[in-house]
Chain A
């Protein structure tokens, strides 16, 4: 049973437009959420995170939104650039048995020039 779900395996966006990647979770114990980015033949790298006490965190072109009531978070990239083409993993952690990172299955973002 996947506790962190990324239902879109792939997304294509035109350069300069907004990319929106979505993530849903089921475990109410999760209180910290992260996005990792992965290029081919490399390991994932940390991108941005958000604590459950916030509903938005922004870092340059990247913004993560958290909707706790819906158990949903999203990553917005504005404007999208071809170098953003990668696999994006959503991850979550919390307390107790949810302490360690639980990752989603990833979304392949392709930004078209």
Chain B
């Protein structure tokens, strides 16, 4: 079992550039979550999808952030334009049943983003 796959693992970009993070959930899982980890705020939920449909995006910090899930095996998180304060580790996670918190979420290895 490959687990949750994220790419790239590291991204360094300049302020103002567009950044796209990618995630492939575990096959058969129908819920997908995007989190951001910072030193100050820990792990924050940005958005989650159930059956490819965005359910709650209240954690998305601002309009510069957008996420899509065009099919059950792929999701993207896009930041346009990027700013230095977006520097963080971004995690994708998936779970198998309806996104209920009682269902264990499986996390990918994360994408470490640095915006200069």
Interface of A is mostly: loop
Q: When A93-B101, A100-B48, A101-B101 are in contact, do A45 and B42 touch as well, CB less than 8 Å?
A: no
Interface residue A62 (Cβ < 8 Å from any Cβ of B):
no
Q: Are A46 and B45 in contact (CB under 8 A)?
A: no
B110 within 8 Å of A by Cβ?
yes
Number of interface residues of B (CB under 8 A): 23
- Let me know if A45 and B107 touch, CB within 8 A: yes
Digitize B1-40: 1 where CB-to-A-CB distance is under 8 Å, 0 elsewhere: 0001000000000000000000000000000000100011
* A24 CA to B44 CA, complexed, in Å: 17
The CA of A44 and the CA of B104, in the complex, are separated in Å by 11
Chain-B contact segment, one of A12-20, A53-61, A69-77, A102-110: A102-110
B43, A43: Cβ atoms under 8 Å?
Answer: no
Contact B102 A43 (CB under 8 A): no
Q: Is the CB of B101 within 8 A of A42?
A: no
Bound Cα distance A36, B35 (Å)? 14
| Nearest Cβ on chain B to A31's Cβ, whole angstroms | 10
Q: What are the interface flags for A15-48 relative to B under an 8 Å C-beta threshold, 1 for contact and 0 otherwise?
A: 0000000000000000010100000011111100
Q: How far is the CA of A93 from the CA of B99 in the complex (A)?
A: 12
Tell me if B40 and A101 are in contact (CB < 8 A): no
| A44 and B91 contacting across the interface, CB-CB below 8 Å | yes
What string of 1s and 0s marks CB contacts (under 8 Å) between A79-105 and chain B?
Answer: 000000000010101000001111111
A58 CB to closest chain B CB, in angstroms?
A: 18
Closest to A9 in B: B39
Contact between chains at A105 and B107 (CB < 8 Å): no
Q: Give every chain A residue within 8 A of B35 (Cβ-Cβ).
A: 103
Docked-complex contact A106 and B42, CB < 8 angstroms: yes
Q: Are B101 and A89 in contact (CB under 8 A)?
A: no
Given contacts A99-B101, A100-B56, A106-B42, 8 further A-B contacts (CB under 8 A): A32-B102, A34-B101, A43-B91, A44-B107, A46-B106, A100-B101, A101-B45, A103-B44
CB within 8 Å of B: which residues of A?
A: 2, 6, 32, 34, 41-46, 49, 89, 91, 93, 99-106
